[in-house]
Amino acid sequence: GKSRLVWELFGVVGQGEDLVYWRQGRSLPYGDGVSYWAVAEMVKAQAGILEDDEAEVVAEKLDSAVRDVVDRDPDWVTAGLRPLVGHVELDAGASSRDESFTAWRTFFESLAEQRPLVLIFEDLHWADDGLLDFVDHLADWSSGVPLLVLCTARPELFERRPGWSG
């Protein structure tokens, strides 16, 4: 089903001559602190952050990953990404969330400026509204870069977000 389609796309992308960034993240069905788990997985994969890395190592890897791709205001982008890798809590306030979304999008767009980027959001039927809002934000505001956003979900997602079905 869904996983096979992703695997088939991976095979096609892998046959191309150009290198492509491929980042996947999965929504979890339950747990604390999993609202943006899928985005966090993508950022951690790009930065080479491991689950057992010490806080200092995580900070160094994140800073390096951002500085490798972001030319404009990398400190601001790094600060926006820190909650995803466990450094600080994401403020639930609307302006803070919008600012975080913009920082995350800036990071992904910067990656896509280097080479085509494929972002796979899996199992979005389990995602909370915050993650769905970020995916909307990413799709609505990203432009001018080779970025493919692919989402997999069960049909019940369309009951929550009917506009996503067509």
pLDDT, position 86:
82
Token pair recorded at residue 16: 């191309």
pLDDT, position 166:
58
Q: Is the pLDDT of residue 89 over 60?
A: no
Q: How confident is the model at residue 93 (pLDDT cuts 50, 70, 90)?
A: very low
pLDDT in tens, 95-140: 589 999 999 999 999 999 999 999 999 999 999 999 999 999 999 9
How is 72-124 classified by DSSP, letter by letter?
S-HHHHHHHHGGGGTSSPPP-SHHHHHHHHHHHHHHHHHHHHHS-EEEEEE-G
Q: Is the pLDDT of residue 92 over 50?
A: no
Name residues whose C-beta falls within 8 Å of residue 154's C-beta, 6 or more positions apart in sequence: 125
